[in-house]
Structure 1
Amino acid sequence: MKPEGRLDIAAGFASTTGRREDNQDFGAVWLGNDGERARHGIAAAVADGVGGARGGRVASETTVRAFLDAYYALPETNGIAAAASKALASVNQWLNQIGRTDDALAGCATTFTALVLRGRRATALHVGDSRAWHFRDGQLHRLTQDHTLPQPDQRHILYRAVGIEPTVRLDVAVQDLAVHDRLLITSDGVHGTLSDRAIARLLDQRGSAQADADAIVAAAYAAGSQDNMTALVIDVVALPAIEQDMLAALAAALPVGATPQTGDSVDGFRLDRLISDGRYTRLFLAEDMVAGGELVLKFPKPALLSENGARLAFLRESLVGARIDDPYVGGAIAIAPERQSQLYIAMPYLPGETLEERLGRTPVTIDRGVQIAAQLARGVAALHRRGIVHRDIKPENVILPEGGGLKLIDLGVARLPRVEEFAQDEIPGTPSYMAPELYEGERGSEASDQFALGVTIYRLFTGKYPFGEVEAFSRPRFGQPVPPSRYRADMPGWLEATILRAIAVDPSRRFGDVLELVHALESGAAHAVRRPEARPLIERNPVLFWQLVSLVLAIALVASFATR
């Protein structure tokens, strides 16, 4: 499971005087207690003082301390940007006034760059020429712009900073976060000497946050920096679950566009190859022309799926991708809201084949088939533990990656707690895998998932359907399934009994839950499951049993009279 409910980071801070006589930089990280972290988040700030030696240090340290004290004292309902402006207003006014009236602190002011991490986002707050950065997958992105004069010989002159103007004006930028992201704040003694490429290379070393902060400062000094040097590195260790309301708002804001074609470009993604063209969705292998790499994009078909249905599918897949971290369940990739212009889902690209494609070749061995079945069952169990019902388990929705393992995909039709249901005519499912109770109006349950899983395992070994292939919009008759051993003479009795129990027409005759099915598959012959047919007749049909007993007794009685 992915960590939920708590934001966790690792931080490293390095600051040195360098070749100057004193250090006018000041920085801090405030982790807060659990309540502060939930309400206000985690705050980190770096300030680089300007003015006289004493005045610069007074300005930087006072500003950072005043910001942290005031920000955490304000109600979280203010919002991060508004709270930060209020937190800096008093110290800015004080610095502006004292810099004009106190000769010892004449002209004192300071740059100020802060990052507030709350929920799954970081908010950059900035004035001056210190910088904030975001680093992910080898790519470094600057979140701030310097407030210095544009002329080459005047780029060291600030026109905005805390204390320069009567009212401080903060730039605000928001960055979505993912686990393993790195954030960095530097004073100009670092980035004035090191190039963006050099900083990215140092962050890509992936040492501890403290070791890499030290390395960045050391590299700036070795490169000849003549200023104070400060680096504050933050590693995102864990994030809270994506908020359902946030995703619902995003889904509501995105238009449902026309379904694209191969070769089209959408939001910087080039659609290179059509992977599948289903009833309600179309999947493409896409190249990310912005960040690089391949991924899969899933688009709704607005002609067949209502806009509300498409948005619900988006919400479901995004929520499951955010909440489930399991080796046998496929995930989703978050797209920055400012980049995404229409409704679609991004997923990791897993080179390999679907289980349906695998079934088209030579039959799997019993051992390999049991391994695949157990892994798939574990993926289903991981969903069920979170109250999620997949509702469309079938070989087409199972990926067998080239490197081994398995991924259960297509979670856009899953049934989730507290998420609005599809319209009646859009209830998902593939007829040949749907449990009998679904044809009676049920919306999907763990028991119906187990049935679909059982049919999938049946097909894995036999290539056949236990109750015959069901055409769309038809209502099947569920009689006795064909025993899989009829198609696989090498199938052990325990395995056949396991499969037949999972696809029992009566839900009460199936396994209590999918974990029981996992146990039956993994324990195998060591804990063989008794075939349902092997139960005594008195248990399977007590009326017939006593009828036969009565018939035998009657025959014996007639025979006894005849022999007298």
Structure 2
Amino acid sequence: MDDTQTSPQVLSGMASEAGRRPHNEDFAAVLAEPPGRATGVAAAIADGIGGAKGGRVAAELAVRQTLDGYLSQSEAKSVRRTAGHAIESANRWIHAQGRMDPALEHMGCTLTVAILRGRRLHVLHVGDTRLYRLRDGRLTRLTVDHRAEGQTNVLTRAIGAQETVRIDYASDELQPHDRLALVTDGVHGALSDRRIEDEMARRDAPDETARRLVRAALDAGSDDNATALVLDVPDLPAADVMGLSQDVADLPMREPPQVGETVDGFELQALLANGRYSRVFRALDQTDGAVLLVKFPKPQVLGAEAQARAAFLRESWVASRVQNPFVGAVLDVPVGRRTSLYLVQPFYAGETLERRLTRRPPVSFEDGLDIAIKLTKAAASLHRAGVIHRDIKPDNVILEAGGGLKLIDLGVARLPNLEAELGADIPGTPSFMAPELFAGDPGDERADIFALGVTAFAMFTGGKLPYGEIEPFTSPRHRRRQALSASRPDLPAWLEATLAKALAVDPKDRFQDAFELAFELENGAIRGAPARRGRPSLYERDPLRFWQVTALVLLVLLLASLAR
């Protein structure tokens, strides 16, 4: 899937026939989003009211004005608002013309609109045209006819009938391979839902399916115009930011649960972390038996609700955009299943790099270089998607049992396209933060490169930090950097030079791209095995002990000489 794709892939086909009527008063159309916009694919069908003048005019005007009006408005506004306003505008104009122009007296129509934006379907509906969805071989009607009870020919709502119009609105998730059909009553009035399901389930091309529906209706005795518009959704884009924001806004926050509870079918089996802002459990998904991680925010912390929603949106969006073997995933939970705000992630068997540094032996050159390269490639994949992690550190790196690696926790990531919505956050952990972040800079790729350098330095030195421990709420000066060779004289000089460049105080002096750093790390290994020395001398390993031993030897020699 193309990373730049913002609308679902849609294949469409349409068929329309007058049937036994002298004129065809139906109208339907499909429009894709204009270049550079993120408004999605919009389809509409309308049926001119029979027995009134100008039915075809009303139908065409309703469809054209609605689609043009929606697609011309800002994508920053909600679909319901923009499409609804477009329909209301078309309704007012049609109503006014039907009252002023004798040739169009009382003109009106029904209208059903389907907008496929991001990974969601939005439906707006007035009258008795219908929208059907075929999913997994089952047909579902997504609209309700606005007809007088017991009377098939009397509409209770129509475009143009009144100066104002009441519009049904619904929204639902799209899934790959969904098939939609918008039809007029000339089709659904002659065909049962079962027959429509059978025709759609044949999975012919959309235009062939539309023709078969229309022909089947006419063969079944339909005495009205018959129109069908069929849409196929073979693929979906990465999660749409606006849609994710709406989903997050609708989810309540609950008190963090306890071990043993079951939340939405996730059995919480063990507590893995209990931090200031969140609580993380190992959980069993009772629907398929998968072992997962479930992270719940803590709403009682001041300001945590806004932070939790922002972190949820960041991590969900990044997971949808970045597919990399070294970046941790976030699993999609259907909107209907999730009843509160939490994140679900795969359970990666292994340990954090932070925990690995607490035990001996120290990380070897070969293992450390492999970890550093994989971690740098993970950051590079994020940067390519326009994501700045801003909290790279050993505690956010999982070393998997089979040699794999996962960079996790994107809760404070910088997403330039979302910054206006999410606002500012404390961007990371002080000891791993680049100097410019302390000055209020939001951070770019070079800030992550600095954090990569600190993480690699800590990995090779057993947890030591190049600029020392930095306390929160301080303004460090980053004046003196510790030498890698002071702790690990067995490591090659080229590695120390590489990390020194990544750890430069001025961002302009660092690697400007994570791929550049990864290339340097890989090429350093390719240049040959490190120039290894023998076992470090006692002086290098323990200068104090060296001088103690030396003094003892001199004392023994002195005593021996005096005894002669």
Aligned pair in 2 of structure 1 residues 252, 27: CA closer, same or farther (>3 Å)?
closer
Q: Distance in 2 between matches of 1:364 and 1:200?
A: 63
Question: Is the aligned partner of 1:313 residue 2:311?
Answer: yes
Q: Deviations over 1:350-407 (max 9, x none)?
A: 3543552896999999888766543431221233456643233245534678999754
- Residues 259 and 271 in structure 2, CA contact (< 8 A), matched pair in contact too: no
Within a 5 Å distance, the mapping from 1:81-160 to structure 2 comes to 81-91=84-94, 110-116=109-115, 122-133=121-132, 142-148=141-147, 156-160=152-156
Q: Distance in 2 between matches of 1:201 and 1:403?
A: 46
Aligned pair in 2 of structure 1 residues 436, 315: CA closer, same or farther (>3 Å)?
closer
**Residue of 177, 181, 186 corresponding to 1:185:** 181
What's the TM-score once normalised by structure 2's chain length?
0.64
Aligned pair in 2 of structure 1 residues 2, 290: CA closer, same or farther (>3 Å)?
farther
Q: Distance in 1 between matches of 2:166 and 2:31?
A: 20
Within a 5 Å distance, the mapping from 1:265-414 to structure 2 comes to 268=264, 270-274=266-270, 276-279=272-275, 280-284=277-281, 297-304=294-301, 306-307=303-304, 308-314=306-312, 316-318=314-316, 320-321=318-319, 324=322, 328-330=326-328, 344-347=341-344, 349-350=345-346, 352-354=348-350, 356=352, 373-385=372-384, 388-398=387-397, 407-414=406-413
AA in 1 matched with 2:88: S
Q: Distance in 2 between matches of 1:139 and 1:458?
A: 57
* 3-state SS of 1:80 partner: helix
Residue 233 of structure 2 corresponds to: 235
Q: Distance in 1 between matches of 2:398 and 2:520?
A: 23
Aligned pair in 2 of structure 1 residues 439, 170: CA closer, same or farther (>3 Å)?
closer
Q: CA offset at residue 464 of structure 1?
A: 3.7
Q: Deviations over 1:29-69 (max 9, x none)?
A: 1336448x66x7653112345647xx79x73x433420244
Aligned pair in 2 of structure 1 residues 86, 323: CA closer, same or farther (>3 Å)?
same
Residue 62 of structure 1 corresponds to: 57
Aligned pair in 2 of structure 1 residues 511, 399: CA closer, same or farther (>3 Å)?
same
- Residues 125 and 170 in structure 1, CA contact (< 8 A), matched pair in contact too: no
How many residue pairs end up in the alignment?
500
Aligned pair in 2 of structure 1 residues 46, 291: CA closer, same or farther (>3 Å)?
farther
AA in 1 matched with 2:28: G
Aligned pair in 2 of structure 1 residues 254, 481: CA closer, same or farther (>3 Å)?
same
* 3-state SS of 1:111 partner: strand
Residue 538 of structure 1 corresponds to: none
Tell me how large the CA RMSD over aligned residues is.
Answer: 5.9
Residue 259 of structure 1 corresponds to: 256
* 3-state SS of 2:352 partner: helix
Residue 30 of structure 2 corresponds to: 29
**Residue of 402, 421, 425 corresponding to 2:424:** 421
Q: CA offset at residue 76 of structure 1?
A: 3.7
* 3-state SS of 1:517 partner: helix
Q: Distance in 2 between matches of 1:219 and 1:287?
A: 45
- Residues 46 and 112 in structure 1, CA contact (< 8 A), matched pair in contact too: yes
Q: CA offset at residue 182 of structure 1?
A: 4.4
Q: Distance in 2 between matches of 1:498 and 1:137?
A: 58
Residue 521 of structure 2 corresponds to: 521
AA in 1 matched with 2:231: V
Aligned pair in 2 of structure 1 residues 313, 484: CA closer, same or farther (>3 Å)?
same
Q: Distance in 1 between matches of 2:188 and 2:367?
A: 56
Q: Deviations over 1:285-322 (max 9, x none)?
A: 67889999997543222345633544443454355456
* 3-state SS of 2:376 partner: helix
Q: Deviations over 1:418-452 (max 9, x none)?
A: 45333xxx663286xx2685997787664553354
Residue 541 of structure 2 corresponds to: none
AA in 2 matched with 1:28: A
Aligned pair in 2 of structure 1 residues 193, 408: CA closer, same or farther (>3 Å)?
farther
Q: Distance in 2 between matches of 1:179 and 1:316?
A: 22
Aligned pair in 2 of structure 1 residues 32, 388: CA closer, same or farther (>3 Å)?
closer
Q: Deviations over 1:525-559 (max 9, x none)?
A: 434699899xxxxxxxxxxxxxxxxxxxxxxxxxx
AA in 1 matched with 2:156: R
- Residues 146 and 155 in structure 2, CA contact (< 8 A), matched pair in contact too: yes
- Residues 2 and 324 in structure 1, CA contact (< 8 A), matched pair in contact too: no
* 3-state SS of 1:283 partner: strand
What are structure 1's unaligned runs of at least 5 residues? 534-564
Q: CA offset at residue 126 of structure 1?
A: 0.9
* 3-state SS of 1:146 partner: coil
Aligned pair in 2 of structure 1 residues 149, 452: CA closer, same or farther (>3 Å)?
same
* 3-state SS of 2:143 partner: coil
Q: Deviations over 1:492-535 (max 9, x none)?
A: x48855775477586778644422221123335434699899xx
- Residues 51 and 106 in structure 1, CA contact (< 8 A), matched pair in contact too: no
- Residues 118 and 236 in structure 2, CA contact (< 8 A), matched pair in contact too: no
What are structure 2's unaligned runs of at least 5 residues? 75-80, 534-564
AA in 2 matched with 1:44: A
Residue 44 of structure 1 corresponds to: 43
Within a 5 Å distance, the mapping from 1:483-502 to structure 2 comes to 493=492, 496-497=495-496, 500-501=499-500
AA in 1 matched with 2:32: L
